[in-house]
Amino acid sequence: AQKVTQAQTEISVVEKEDVTLDCVYETRDTTYYLFWYKQPPSGELVFLIRRNSFDEQNEISGRYSWNFQKSTSSFNFTITASQVVDSAVYFCALTQTGANNLFFGTGTRLTVIP
């Protein structure tokens, strides 16, 4: 069975603070893919990153960074020097090769206070 857990329902930070969003996943497959999507109030989901199970390298893109650790089944997302525009719901998601579904976590609502 596949499952994604985002234990943090809501987080509030003050602008310029760093914030880490947690994602823990469960799967029996050895080949799988993890995603992060951002959903601002406008509604669309914006793709942020995809990571496959064979690539444990951490990635940095501007103020965003991701820490993938297979040993703890986690794929955490850090925003450095947060900005008001980062306020959104962030979803972590999991799928496998040939799968018919994309398993989303329940999302973390991030509010960045000016």
Partner 1 sequence: DTEVTQTPKHLVMGMTNKKSLKCEQHMGHRAMYWYKQKAKKPPELMFVYSYEKLSINESVPSRFSPECPNSSLLNLHLHALQPEDSALYLCASSPRQNLNQPQHFGDGTRLSIL
Contact set with partner 1 (CB under 8 A): 33, 35, 37, 42-47, 50, 52, 91, 93, 95, 97, 99-102, 104-107
The residue (of 31 and 72) whose beta carbon lies closer to partner 1 is: 31
* Radius of gyration in angstroms for the set of CA atoms belonging to the chain, rounded to a whole number: 14
Q: How far is the CB of 31 from partner 1 (least distance, A)?
A: 9
Q: How far is the CB of 94 from partner 1 (least distance, A)?
A: 10
The residue (of 79 and 94) whose beta carbon lies closer to partner 1 is: 94
- Burial class of 79 by CB neighbour count within 10 A (0 to 12, 13 to 18, 19+): buried
Q: How far is the CB of 108 from partner 1 (least distance, A)?
A: 11
The residue (of 50 and 70) whose beta carbon lies closer to partner 1 is: 50
Q: How far is the CB of 74 from partner 1 (least distance, A)?
A: 18
Residue 71's SS3 state is: helix
The DSSP symbol for 72 reads G
Closest by alpha carbon to 55, among 37, 35, 65, 70?
A: 70
- Burial class of 7 by CB neighbour count within 10 A (0 to 12, 13 to 18, 19+): exposed
The residue (of 44 and 114) whose beta carbon lies closer to partner 1 is: 44
